[in-house]
């Protein structure tokens, strides 16, 4: 079976890889990580950082969408993953061009956080909507179903509570790293008696690491996120999927994020985003609680980060982590693979 895929995010491609373990007969077309086949564009070509970068590349994204529509003529089905700013307009183009081709959306847009009007578009242009958060299904009238959460398939380890090891994850984008790493370096210096491990994306080359991170000799380096988080007593993490990974592994952490001022203004004032961490968002919908603190913008200081390390209640975190896993219940990969083959 030929499957047109639009998976622009590194995390989406990790989830896609897990799905393909149950679907060896699928040939991929479109946008995905080159380790999974021969894409029209590799996921690295699609990287953007915030609203401003997206606007700058807008014309190019229109061109890419048209190329995908042309490529879809050879596909049996279509799979769209996350990245709603690109994939919802693409879904409209694809449904217009191929009204009888099944369009499946996996990793749904966060309509519960902002822009709920996207629900109508998703239900109009897509045939199946596969949610990975139990509560998000309630926002849809038709076509949406909870399939489980992919991280429960991918995480094979739990925290071993090794004292003295701290993980640092300053993000994967240049802007994130530039803003957070200098602060993390100062925190590391204040915790000089601890083993400090800097977790770097597995696909980063030595040249890219040197270019983005500079001198990181004070850290040990790891490219295995789950293994490193599992053996760490605490983690300092930029927002994103890594925060939910740490939560499910059971490693206490604090979320730190410094966005461009205009992006933060749009998110806070226009989109009314009140929480950043996925684990906090999920638990707040489940039982009204939160798992971890969120330090944003000017709150991200060496002093505040050290307070988080010294004063985070580990027992409370452990209990909330268990509640989170119980709520999500099971993985999604096998179910999604079955839907693609049906």
The DSSP line for 254-280 is EEEE---HHHHHIIIIIS------HHH
Q: What pLDDT, on the 0 to 100 scale, is given for residue 10?
A: 84
Question: What is the spatial distance between Cα 317 and Cα 285, in angstroms, rounded to a whole number?
Answer: 17
Query: Which residues are 6's β-sheet partners?
Result: 31, 80
Q: How far, in Å, CA of 279 to CA of 222, rounded?
A: 24
Q: What is the CATH number of domain 165-328?
A: 3.40.50.2000
265, two tokens: 């203004």
Q: Give the per-residue pLDDT at 256.
A: 95
pLDDT for 277: 86
Question: Are 150 and 166 a contacting pair, CB within 8 Å?
Answer: no
For residue 101, is pLDDT > 80? yes
pLDDT digits (tens, 9 = 90+) for 322-334: 999 999 999 999 9
> What pLDDT does 249 receive?
97
Residue 24's pLDDT band (cuts 50, 70, 90): confident
Asked whether the beta carbons of 200 and 224 are under 8 A apart, the reply is: no
Orientation angle between helical segments 84-97 and 58-71, nearest 10 degrees: 40
Percent of the chain with pLDDT over 70: 93
- pLDDT given at position 228: 97
Other beta carbons less than 10 A from residue 273's beta carbon: 15
Q: Whole-angstrom Cα distance, residue 9 to residue 38?
A: 17
Please report, in angstroms and rounded to a whole number, the separation of the first and last CA atoms in the chain.
11
Task: Give the Cα separation of 238 and 267 in Å (integer).
Answer: 16
- What's the CATH architecture for 2-146? 3-Layer(aba) Sandwich (3.40)
Domains 2-146 and 165-328 share a fold: yes
Looking at residue 266, its pLDDT comes to: 57
27 pLDDT above the threshold of 60: yes
The answer to whether residues 143 and 137 touch, using CB atoms and an 8 Å cutoff, is no
Helix (H), strand (E) at residue 314 = helix 314-328
pLDDT of residue 57: 75
Sequence spans of domains, the chain: 2-146, 165-328
51 pLDDT band (50/70/90 cuts)?
Answer: low
**Tell me: the pLDDT tens digits for 241-297?**
899 999 999 999 999 988 776 664 555 555 556 667 899 999 999 999 999 999 999
pLDDT of 221 over the 90 cut: yes
Rounded Cα distance between 314 and 316, Å, is 6
pLDDT score recorded for residue 275: 65
Q: Mean pLDDT, to the nearest integer, of 36-46?
A: 87
Q: Confidence band (pLDDT; 50, 70, 90) for 113?
A: confident
Nearest alpha carbon to residue 233 among 187, 315, 311, 166:
166
**CA–CA distance from 195 to each of 138, 158, 182, 201 (Å)?**
44, 19, 18, 19
- Of the pLDDT bands very low, low, confident and very high (cuts 50, 70, 90), residue 122 is very high
pLDDT number for residue 48: 64
Q: How far is CA 270 from the centre of its chain?
A: 22
For 167, 275, 317, the CA distances from 291, given in Å and listed in that order, are 18, 12, 6
The span from the CA of 314 to the CA of 175, in Å, is 31
Indicate whether 311 pLDDT > 80. yes
What are residue 103's DSSP bridge partners? 78
Q: What is the mean pLDDT of the chain?
A: 92
> What pLDDT shows up at residue 84?
94
Q: Quick one: average pLDDT of 20-39?
A: 94
* Pairwise CA distance, residues 191 & 201, whole Å: 24
pLDDT tens readout for residues 123-177: 999 999 999 999 999 999 999 999 999 999 999 999 987 789 999 999 988 889 9
Per-residue confidence (pLDDT) for residue 38, from 0 to 100: 95
Q: Which residue has the higher pLDDT, 10 or 54?
A: 10
Burial of 192 (0-12, 13-18, 19+ CB in 10 A): exposed
């Amino acid at each position: 079976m030929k499957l047109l895929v639009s998976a622009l995010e590194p995390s989406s491609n990790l989830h896609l890889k897990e799905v393909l373990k149950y679907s060896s007969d699928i040939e991929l077309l479109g946008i995905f990580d080159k380790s999974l086949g021969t894409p029209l564009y590799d996921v690295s070509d699609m990287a953007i950082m915030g609203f401003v970068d997206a606007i700058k590349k807008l014309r190019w994204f229109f061109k890419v969408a048209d190329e995908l529509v042309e490529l879809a003529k050879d596909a049996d089905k279509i799979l769209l993953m996350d990245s709603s700013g690109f994939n919802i307009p693409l879904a409209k183009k694809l449904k217009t061009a191929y009204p009888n081709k099944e369009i499946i959306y996996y990793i749904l847009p966060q309509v519960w956080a902002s822009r709920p009007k996207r629900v109508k578009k998703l239900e109009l242009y897509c045939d199946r909507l596969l949610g990975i958060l139990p509560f998000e299904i309630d926002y849809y009238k038709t076509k949406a179903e909870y399939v489980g959460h992919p991280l429960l398939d991918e995480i094979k380890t739990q925290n071993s509570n090794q004292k003295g090891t701290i993980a640092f994850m300053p993000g994967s984008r240049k802007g994130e790293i530039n803003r957070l790493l200098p602060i993390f370096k100062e925190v590391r210096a204040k915790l000089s008696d601890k083993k400090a491990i800097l977790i770097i994306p597995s696909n980063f080359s030595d040249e890219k690491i040197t270019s983005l991170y500079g001198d990181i000799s004070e850290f040990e380096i790891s490219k295995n996120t789950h293994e490193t988080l599992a053996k760490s007593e605490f983690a300092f993490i930029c927002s994103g999927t890594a925060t939910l990974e740490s939560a499910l592994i059971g490693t206490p952490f604090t979320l730190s994020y410094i966005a461009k001022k205009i992006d933060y203004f749009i998110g806070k004032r226009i989109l009314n985003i009140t929480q950043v961490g996925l684990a906090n968002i999920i638990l707040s919908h489940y039982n009204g609680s939160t798992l971890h603190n969120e330090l944003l913008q000017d709150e991200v200081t060496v002093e505040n980060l050290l307070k988080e390390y010294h004063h985070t209640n580990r027992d409370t975190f452990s209990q909330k982590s268990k509640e989170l896993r119980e709520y999500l219940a099971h993985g999604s990969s096998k179910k999604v693979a079955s839907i693609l083959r049906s």
